[in-house]
Amino acid sequence: MAKFEMYKDASGQFRFRLKAGNGQNILSSEAYTSKAECENGIESVKKNSSDDARFERLEGKSGKPYFNLKSTNGQVIGTSQQYASTSSMEAGIASVMNNASGADVEDMS
């Protein structure tokens, strides 16, 4: 089962990552200055992840595909890893869509 992990990074800022049932990171957040902001980011992922239109499909400098999940105001709330192929990126998007809304939150901060 997928889960969100909320943690503090090396600079003391809060971040979260969504992990698939197999332990693979499928979405990572930007840094937040407070735990409450990070929790709001997780809730935004849960709310926006069911809408395919919220996923921005991109290509990195290396030519590998990745995606951003955006909120209704267009702000990026999570970024994927880079994938080897477009089909594997689409599988990552499907995983976020299917798992984020019901994922538990593990507070590691």
Smallest Cα–Cα separation from 60: which of 28, 98, 21, 89?
89
**CATH of range 3-107; options 3.10.129.10, 3.40.50.1110, 2.30.29.80, 2.40.40.20:** 2.30.29.80
**Tokens in use for 51?**
């809408």
**CA 75 – CA 84 distance, rounded (Å):** 26
Where exactly are the structural domains of the chain? Answer: 3-107
The predicted model scores a pTM of 0.91
Say yes or no to pLDDT of 17 above 90: yes
| Predicted confidence (pLDDT) per residue in 21-70, tens digit | 888 899 999 999 999 999 999 999 999 999 999 999 999 999 999 999 99
Say yes or no to pLDDT of 96 above 90: yes
| Number of Cβ within a 10 Å radius of residue 6 | 20
